[in-house]
Structures are given as structure tokens and as C-alpha cells.
Chain A
């Protein structure tokens, strides 16, 4: 009886511990994302002249995607740790739910909609805008694009 109580206590303790680890690793991921955004914000901001060859739709299709790709790359280590904790502590994983919590999963779904040509254009833009900060108000850029 005493032995059973002890094993129940240990099980509960382990369950609580795994939840704490999960919460902490996701919190670390969130903090890292904020740091990555701050890094982007320190770069020279993207201006309308950098994207004058793009349409408003292309701005969404490529530049907004690129914006998330950069943050994902920068936070990849913390994201993997959080994702591993979450998967190991869950009985089942629903990818749609994970899309809301992890940039990699979200981006993977977004990339499925791109053609090979789109991906090539994305890579070209990625290289060309490497030194530009993408954490800017894109709607302001859209306004300027329309006024050109």
C-alpha cells in the first residue's frame, strides 16, 4: 500500500515536471523570437525602392513569407527544443495545432503553396534583401508603392 502511494507520488511528480519543462522551453522560444525581431529591427529598414519591382500581392507572397523565414532561422534551436518537449509530452500531435505554435510548421504549410519558380524568386529576394530589416510596416510600403 505504502509502495503504491509512493509510485503514484513519483508519477505525479514526473508529470508535473514534464509540464514545467514544456512550459519553460516554449517560453524560451517566445523570448528568442522577440530577440530575433529586435535583431531585424536593428538593420536598415526595408524601403519602397527595395521592392519597387514587386506588386502588392507579391509583397505578401514573398516578403511577408521571408519575414517569417528569417525569424524561424534565427530561433531554430529554441524552436526545436520546445517542439521536442511538446511532442514527447503529448500522446498525439495534430499538425494544424502545431501550425499555430511553431513557425517551422506554419512555414512548411505556406511553402507547399509555392511553385518551383516562386521558390526561386524567394531565394533571390532573400539574398538581395539580406541586409534589410523586414520588421517594418508593410502597409506603409504598399501605400508608397501605389503612389509611385
Chain B
């Protein structure tokens, strides 16, 4: 499944992204693992807040890889958030595609 598209995040998606970032931050505190900047790169480099955001397949692949090397529990929790968002009715089709791409990589 190709995951190259532009997406503008609504408030629900932004909340879910913050939830993932918080989980990652907490996981990193204990693991001492600092290689999670991929997540920050993906969601922050173009500014998630308000702007249209370009994502590519490799973003999701890198994210999944970095999460797996951190801890598998986090992967499962993020997968669950992605599932919840992909089945959420009040988001745009592009947002749904974004969450589906994330879910598929977890």
C-alpha cells in the first residue's frame, strides 16, 4: 500500500499524535534510548499544527523500525491508537489513510 500523500490533521488526529509522542517520551525515560527522533521528525518537521503535511512510505517504515528497536509494548500501543483513529468516523479520508498506513507498519 503506497503511503505518499498530503494530509492536514484535525483536532482528533493531533490529539492521537500527542498521545503517541507522550508514550514514546515515557518509554524513552526508562530505556535510555535516544533514537526516537524519527517520530519527532515525521510529525514535527513540517509542523503538525494546522499545516498540510506531506508524508511518504519511508516515514512509516522508519517509525516502525525505531519503535521496534525501542520496545515492543510501545508498538502494540501505537498500533491500537492507529486502529482507533483509522476507524474513527469524524476524520477526513486523508487522515484515515494516514492512520491506516501507520497501523499497517506496526
Contact = CB atoms under 8 A, between A and B. Distances in A.
B71 A97 contact: no
Given A100-B30, A139-B103, A60 B23 contact: no
A101 B100 contact: no
B73 A97 contact: no
Output the residue of A56, A103, A139 with the most chain B CB within 10 A: A139
B30 A30 contact: no
Contact of B80 (A60, A86, A96): A60
A68 B104 contact: no
Interface string A96-136: 11111111001000000000000000000000000000000
B87 A56 contact: yes
A142 to B, nearest CB: 6
A100 B83 contact: no
Contact of A68 (B29, B74, B76, B84): B76
Chain A binding surface SS class: helix
Given A68-B76, A100-B71, A100-B77, A60 B83 contact: yes
B17 interface: no
A10 interface: no
Contact of B26 (A30, A34, A100, A139): A100
B27 A101 contact: yes
Contact of A142 (B29, B72, B80, B87): B87
Enumerate the 9 nearest inter-chain pairs by beta-carbon distance, A residue then B residue, closest first.
A100-B27, A33-B72, A100-B26, A97-B26, A56-B87, A97-B30, A100-B23, A30-B72, A139-B86
18 contacts: A34-B72, A56-B87, A60-B83, A64-B80, A64-B83, A71-B76, A86-B30, A97-B29, A99-B26, A100-B30, A100-B73, A100-B74, A101-B31, A101-B71, A106-B77, A139-B83, A139-B86, A139-B100
